[in-house]
A and B are shown apart, each in its own frame.
Chain A
């Protein structure tokens, strides 16, 4: 029977953590209470993308979007909207852009500017039901491939589409498949790299939670193309929801004969197994990942031989990232030419980004390649909150670099970001404002790589540690100008001589901040001041003339170091101040500054 109405509730990790399961149950009991349970269906979907404002509920028909829904709001929605057809104005999503209330999801700038290919089903279908995926042309691509195409034609189509690896490298996917196809072996493997370790990135998690079958289907297509009958998904143990849904999805697909033996009566066999990662970032590197599945320490090895020649258990293996796979079925449904028509000449298609940090609309978005950073941050992302000034955007995680305001009009694609000294990476995009210290950010990323370096090669193991020592010194106020030169020299040496991608890119956050924010480093070294007010030893808080005398800072100071009268300019006693920053957070007019006089940088 067709349901009269559908209630879609976001079941992504973040919304689940803010109660979406209980909200679904409450909807069900309320519907039962009003005898509406029969013709109205509640569905727990994958991530909608606007994660900071969850949990979200969308009601079809009409695509009405409610955000920040609480348990106690459910009754009102059911009684007013479901039973009487009147949307609950109070709970409609309020846009940050022009203070208008948005009634439906596609009206929002956040969604209207996106082009969803990899995320096509996220937030739309129930990921626990294979039939919903099938209803959206799921497994049709696999059927077409198995019935009408030869493996070489499949590879040709992927090559023609121009799809490049979305895990960060940007290597042409079709070419990779071709290498694996050319090997002659009794056994080959397909691996899906779901060891999404970049801090601040959660694109792959969203795909796996919201649309697990698209990855399974693509892995089977890849298996057919290269001649493999077994696939492994190497997934982080930190993503329990995704693991659970994948396991379920594999079971469903096997039950319908879409995985297993003799798929679509074609004689092609393909099975998929899960392997859990165990909290080692370096396992995102393909040779380390393979070592980990084999039951070894996850340490990379020299290439060549490439995995396509000698991979898992010594057999030819093709490794692709989750998002890369998620694009594959669409290429066969709509054609390589259609895919190629999206994006830029050298980077076709779209890219999913996880937008986070100091930005109004934190969340997940998928945009055509070639969209500019400015459009992403100010139009889709809604700009910087709290009247702060934009400072930098960091892409590529610990392997990438910072991009400044001067480069915001650069169209995003693989090659442009590398030219800017950063990289596409897997898709984390962290926005920083004037309150973030770039030296501290560089130190943060280096701390991460020092911790995650596997220790196999000396430049990465010892070099990054020495760089971190220097950065710690600078942040403590003990740095010298010579340190800056040593950082640069050491960084370039580590890049040139490390064994794997982790070491080769580890110095990027330091080198790119040194290049774009050298003044800030010099302020730490010469003036012994941290302009952003992050490095405690180098921070002095002062009240500027902007002060309106509201007394909020004095009230919030935990040690009573601020004095002043109502409507009069306040004063912070430096000898009492413990530099906790509570005053700065409390100030409504941004009148508490840590910047030295005559500071010209952001």
Chain B
């Protein structure tokens, strides 16, 4: 089962406060969406509706913008987010193999979340740490000089 988005009053008022600030600036939609993504972890339809009302922008346009950018998501992500860098420097040093290993070991397709909502596997764009290639991150932690062996170790640790 996917974990559901938790829309609490507290989080809603946080979003409203952010919108109050951004409304006064030119081009308020992007900063507002960044805030929403940060507060809720994703921007599902109910949130888009709220933003639409508040900023007076059609929901179709908001949906278009949300789905255009890779940074925004409509569905909640897993509890643990595994991102494998597929920048060129990492790729030529074998990061595709690392991504495949995660996909196999976590039993999840790239870009998807496991059924139990525990893991999201992402292929990420270059994060600019090319000197440590190939690299991947689990939540905030960075693993440098990655290898299939390291993947096995990390997965084991995450699952336990």
- B125 lies within 8 A of A238 (CB): yes
Q: Which residues of B contact A430 (CB under 8 A)?
A: 88-89, 92
- A357 lies within 8 A of B34 (CB): no
- B128 lies within 8 A of A197 (CB): no
Report if A278-B33 is in contact (Cβ < 8 Å); known contacts: A13-B128, A13-B129, A17-B144.
yes
- A293 lies within 8 A of B30 (CB): yes
Query: What distance in Å separates the Cβ of B20 from its nearest Cβ neighbour in chain A?
Result: 17
**Stretch from A198-206, A251-259, A325-333, A561-569 at the B interface:** A198-206
- B71 lies within 8 A of A279 (CB): yes
Query: What distance in Å separates the Cβ of A319 from its nearest Cβ neighbour in chain B?
Result: 15
Query: What distance in Å separates the Cβ of B160 from its nearest Cβ neighbour in chain A?
Result: 23
- A357 lies within 8 A of B26 (CB): no
Whether, in the assembled complex, B46 has its beta carbon less than 8 Å from a beta carbon of chain A, the answer is: no
Enumerate A49-82 residues with CB–CB distance to B below 8 Å.
50-54
Whether, in the assembled complex, A163 has its beta carbon less than 8 Å from a beta carbon of chain B, the answer is: no
**Stretch from B1-9, B11-19, B61-69, B112-120 at the A interface:** B61-69
Other-chain residue from B25, B65, B88 in contact with A200 (beta carbon distance below 8 A): B88
Other-chain residue from B57, B70, B93, B142 in contact with A357 (beta carbon distance below 8 A): B93
Other-chain residue from B31, B61, B64, B144 in contact with A18 (beta carbon distance below 8 A): B144
A356 to B89: give the CA distance in the assembly, Å.
6
- A313 lies within 8 A of B71 (CB): no
Q: Which residues of B contact A54 (CB under 8 A)?
A: 131
- A17 lies within 8 A of B132 (CB): yes
Interface centre among B130, B131, B144 (most CB of A within 10 A): B131
Report if A358-B92 is in contact (Cβ < 8 Å); known contacts: A52-B131, A279-B70, A296-B65.
yes
Enumerate A135-180 residues with CB–CB distance to B below 8 Å.
none
- B126 lies within 8 A of A237 (CB): no
- B130 lies within 8 A of A51 (CB): yes
A126 to B41: give the CA distance in the assembly, Å.
34
Q: Which residues of B contact A280 (CB under 8 A)?
A: 68-70
Enumerate B122-137 residues with CB–CB distance to A below 8 Å.
124-133
Report if A17-B129 is in contact (Cβ < 8 Å); known contacts: A199-B87, A295-B29, A397-B88.
yes
- B125 lies within 8 A of A199 (CB): yes
A357 to B126: give the CA distance in the assembly, Å.
13
- B28 lies within 8 A of A295 (CB): yes
Enumerate A273-306 residues with CB–CB distance to B below 8 Å.
273, 275-281, 292-298
**In the complex, residue of chain A having the shortest beta-carbon distance to the beta carbon of B129:** A14
Enumerate B12-55 residues with CB–CB distance to A below 8 Å.
25-31, 33-34
- B133 lies within 8 A of A356 (CB): yes
- A444 lies within 8 A of B133 (CB): no
**In the complex, residue of chain B having the shortest beta-carbon distance to the beta carbon of A363:** B131
- B130 lies within 8 A of A354 (CB): yes
- B125 lies within 8 A of A362 (CB): no
| Count of B interface residues, CB-CB < 8 Å | 38
A295 to B31: give the CA distance in the assembly, Å.
9
Q: Which residues of A contact B132 (CB under 8 A)?
A: 14, 17-18, 51-52
Other-chain residue from A53, A281, A357 in contact with B89 (beta carbon distance below 8 A): A357
Other-chain residue from A18, A298, A358 in contact with B68 (beta carbon distance below 8 A): A298
A599 to B40: give the CA distance in the assembly, Å.
56
A430 to B31: give the CA distance in the assembly, Å.
34
- B92 lies within 8 A of A436 (CB): yes
Query: What distance in Å separates the Cβ of A66 from its nearest Cβ neighbour in chain B?
Result: 17
A432 to B72: give the CA distance in the assembly, Å.
34
Query: What distance in Å separates the Cβ of A25 from its nearest Cβ neighbour in chain B?
Result: 18
Whether, in the assembled complex, A121 has its beta carbon less than 8 Å from a beta carbon of chain B, the answer is: no
Q: Which residues of A contact B82 (CB under 8 A)?
A: none
- A279 lies within 8 A of B125 (CB): yes
Q: Which residues of B contact A202 (CB under 8 A)?
A: 126, 128-130
Q: Which residues of B contact A17 (CB under 8 A)?
A: 129, 132, 142, 144
**In the complex, residue of chain A having the shortest beta-carbon distance to the beta carbon of B89:** A356
- B92 lies within 8 A of A432 (CB): yes
Whether, in the assembled complex, A211 has its beta carbon less than 8 Å from a beta carbon of chain B, the answer is: no
**In the complex, residue of chain B having the shortest beta-carbon distance to the beta carbon of A205:** B128
A13 to B142: give the CA distance in the assembly, Å.
11
Other-chain residue from B26, B88, B144 in contact with A444 (beta carbon distance below 8 A): B88
A293 to B31: give the CA distance in the assembly, Å.
9
Enumerate A504-553 residues with CB–CB distance to B below 8 Å.
none
- B70 lies within 8 A of A200 (CB): no
- A279 lies within 8 A of B69 (CB): yes
A20 to B146: give the CA distance in the assembly, Å.
20
Q: Which residues of A contact B92 (CB under 8 A)?
A: 357-358, 430, 432, 436, 441
Whether, in the assembled complex, B86 has its beta carbon less than 8 Å from a beta carbon of chain A, the answer is: yes
A278 to B127: give the CA distance in the assembly, Å.
13
Report if A237-B34 is in contact (Cβ < 8 Å); known contacts: A313-B26, A444-B91.
yes
The 8 A CB mask of B141-159 against A (1 = contact, 0 = none) is 0101000100000000000
A397 to B93: give the CA distance in the assembly, Å.
16
- B27 lies within 8 A of A294 (CB): yes
- B34 lies within 8 A of A362 (CB): no
**In the complex, residue of chain B having the shortest beta-carbon distance to the beta carbon of A582:** B148
Other-chain residue from A278, A293, A394 in contact with B27 (beta carbon distance below 8 A): A293
Enumerate A562-602 residues with CB–CB distance to B below 8 Å.
580
Whether, in the assembled complex, A127 has its beta carbon less than 8 Å from a beta carbon of chain B, the answer is: no
**In the complex, residue of chain B having the shortest beta-carbon distance to the beta carbon of A447:** B86
**In the complex, residue of chain B having the shortest beta-carbon distance to the beta carbon of A354:** B130
Q: Which residues of A contact B30 (CB under 8 A)?
A: 275-276, 278, 292-293, 295
Query: What distance in Å separates the Cβ of A215 from its nearest Cβ neighbour in chain B?
Result: 17
Whether, in the assembled complex, A323 has its beta carbon less than 8 Å from a beta carbon of chain B, the answer is: no
Query: What distance in Å separates the Cβ of B75 from its nearest Cβ neighbour in chain A?
Result: 16
Whether, in the assembled complex, A268 has its beta carbon less than 8 Å from a beta carbon of chain B, the answer is: no
Query: What distance in Å separates the Cβ of B90 from its nearest Cβ neighbour in chain A?
Result: 8
Query: What distance in Å separates the Cβ of B7 from its nearest Cβ neighbour in chain A?
Result: 21
Give me 6 other A-B pairs in contact (C-beta within 8 A), A18-B144, A202-B128, A394-B88 excluded: A51-B131, A197-B125, A199-B86, A201-B128, A239-B128, A313-B26
User: Which 4 pairs, one residue from A and one from B, show the smallest C-beta to C-beta distance?
Assistant: A51-B131, A295-B29, A202-B128, A279-B70
A residues whose Cβ falls under 8 Å from a Cβ of B: 13-14, 17-18, 50-54, 196-202, 205, 237-239, 273, 275-281, 292-298, 313, 354, 356-358, 362-363, 394, 397, 428, 430, 432, 436, 441, 444-445, 454, 580
Name 14 interchain pairs, CB-CB below 8 A, sorted by A: A51-B129, A200-B87, A200-B126, A238-B127, A273-B25, A275-B31, A276-B34, A294-B27, A295-B57, A296-B65, A298-B68, A356-B133, A432-B92, A445-B88
